[in-house]
């Protein structure tokens, strides 16, 4: 009996192993589904690594996080998951550390802001898989008609918005602080005002003086002067703002690479510049990342590591980034893309990545804090909104959630 079992290839043995990966779909149709990307990657890997099979299940972004959560709850965790968040699983000690999986060269190749965002207590569990930054989009036709140049400061942004309003532009500046993606617009404005969600040591600092000043300026100088259109920012969602820009109804808004395709499809000509700050270009822009993680449950550390080293090769990272107009997460692929596409529109986003700041996704409390921001931040810019008070309430909830971690 012992002899039979020894030949069965238990966890981590050299026998045949099947790795299970659950991944998100970045395509918008069957023609460009992520299934095709993974099929190609798996084919190449299995050819070079007989004895390791990889089964990939691809779900839409609406379902993928929930599917993985349910698998883990049932005690059937996949070996690998490429989803939106990793911190809860790291906190439950369900994940391998990145340096238990990856070669030194692969781990060192991750871009620094992204690698840092994958850490919990300075240990990396989340491996960045896809990334993006934000830029200020502006409608070039509306700007040309009003003899405007792209703004570099808050004052110039306000002046441009006033000129657009005077010419009858429906939404001079779109400020989506509605529940769909309020944390993104919030962070972009916090960073441009010299603040952010956390301080230098990584503790929540939501009610800082800089953040309170930023939202007071938005309340008084943009929203209060009727420069953000007829929908109150608390009710304006990102999808609605992007659709309005693609119709030609918006003068300016913060956007990510997806908006380029949406606007081009509708024939809207646009330009893009780094986010304006108080007195010049903002010191940092917002970055976002999606995550790869490896679960300990099945014991396939060695095989999962081999596959991840292959996944993060320069060619595979570049192929994925080029297919979906998403920024690469490694230095080698970023340098290759900069050489090839640095002069293109995507290159402008790439340029902002090294100094970007991400959500504090390494905190298990972030999900609660994010929900609180979605619910409350829009009220800071209401006519009688009190930014200091509202930011203070969010900060108190954040501190309580953080202390419970």
Walk along the chain (405 residues) in steps of 10 and give the mean pLDDT of each run.
32 70 91 94 97 96 94 97 95 97 98 95 96 96 98 98 98 95 95 95 95 98 98 95 97 94 95 95 91 98 98 97 92 93 84 93 93 96 96 96 84
Per-residue model confidence (pLDDT) at position 12: 40
Q: Are 378 and 231 members of one domain?
A: yes
* Same domain membership, residue 231 and residue 375: yes
Could you tell me the CA-to-CA distances from 142 to 80, 138, 157 in Å, in that order? 47, 8, 14
Range of the domain at 154: 135-285+365-403
Q: Which position has the token pair 């050489």? A: 339
| Domain-located, residue 9 | no
Check whether residue 317 and residue 209 sit in a common domain.
no
Pair (240, 265) in one structural domain:
yes
- Give the separation between CA 35 and CA 56, rounded to whole angstroms: 8
CATH of the domain at 280: 3.40.190.10
Q: What is the pLDDT of residue 342?
A: 66
Same domain, 163 and 190: yes
| Whether residue 385 sits in one domain with residue 332 | no
**Pairing between β-strand 80-83 and β-strand 17-24 as defined by DSSP bridges:** parallel
- Total structural domains within the chain: 2
Q: Are residues 244 and 207 in the same domain?
A: yes
Which pLDDT value is given to residue 29?
82
Say whether pTM exceeds 0.85: yes
Give how far Cα 221 sits from Cα of 65, 159, 172, 329, 377, Å. 39, 10, 13, 37, 17
Tokens 């030949």 locate to: 7
Q: Are residues 36 and 127 in the same domain?
A: yes
Which of 316, 336, 355 is the endpoint of a domain? 355
Q: Evaluate whether residue 3 is within a structural domain.
A: no
Let me know whether 369 and 342 are in one domain. Answer: no
pLDDT for the residue numbered 11:
41
Residues 34 and 140 in one domain: no
- Whether 267 and 373 map to the same domain: the answer is yes
Cross-strand bridge partners of residue 341? none
Q: Is position 8 within any domain?
A: no
| Same domain for 266 and 180 | yes
Residue 21 lies in a domain: yes
């Amino acid at each position: 009996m012992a002899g039979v079992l020894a030949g069965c290839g238990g966890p981590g043995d050299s026998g045949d192993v099947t790795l299970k990966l659950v991944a998100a779909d970045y395509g918008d149709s069957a023609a460009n589904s992520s299934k095709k990307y993974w099929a190609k990657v798996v084919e190449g890997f299995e050819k070079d690594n007989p004895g390791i099979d990889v089964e990939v299940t691809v779900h839409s972004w609406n379902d993928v996080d929930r599917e993985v959560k349910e698998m883990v709850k049932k005690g059937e965790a996949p070996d690998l998951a490429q989803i939106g968040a990793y911190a809860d699983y790291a906190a439950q000690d369900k994940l391998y550390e990145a340096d238990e999986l990856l070669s030194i060269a692969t781990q060192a190749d991750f871009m620094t802001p992204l690698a840092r965002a994958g850490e919990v207590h300075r240990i990396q569990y989340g491996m960045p898989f896809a990334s993006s930054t934000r830029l200020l989009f502006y409608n070039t036709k509306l700007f040309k008609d009003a003899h405007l140049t792209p703004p570099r400061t808050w004052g110039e942004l306000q002046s441009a918005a006033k000129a657009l309003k005077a010419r009858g532009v429906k939404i001079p500046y779109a400020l989506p602080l509605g529940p769909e993606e309020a944390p993104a617009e919030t962070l972009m404005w916090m960073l441009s005002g010299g603040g952010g969600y956390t301080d230098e040591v990584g503790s929540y600092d939501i009610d800082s003086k800089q953040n309170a000043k930023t939202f007071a300026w938005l309340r008084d100088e943009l929203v209060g002067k009727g420069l953000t259109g007829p929908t109150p920012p608390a009710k304006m969602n990102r999808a609605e703002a992007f659709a309005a820009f693609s119709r030609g109804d918006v003068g300016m808004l913060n956007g990510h690479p997806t908006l380029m395709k949406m606007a081009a499809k509708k024939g809207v000509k646009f330009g893009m510049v780094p986010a304006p700050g108080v007195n010049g270009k903002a010191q940092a822009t917002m970055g976002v990342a999606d995550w790869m993680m490896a679960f300990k449950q099945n014991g396939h550390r060695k095989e999962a590591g081999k596959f991840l080293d292959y996944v993060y090769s320069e060619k595979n990272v570049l192929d994925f980034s080029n297919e979906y107009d998403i920024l690469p997460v490694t230095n080698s692929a970023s340098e290759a893309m900069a050489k090839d596409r640095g002069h293109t529109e995507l290159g402008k986003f790439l340029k902002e990545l090294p100094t970007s700041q991400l959500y504090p996704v390494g905190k298990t409390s972030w999900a609660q804090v994010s929900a609180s921001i979605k619910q409350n931040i829009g009220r800071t810019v209401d006519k009688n909104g009190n930014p200091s008070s509202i930011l203070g309430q969010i900060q108190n909830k954040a501190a309580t959630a953080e202390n419970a971690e």
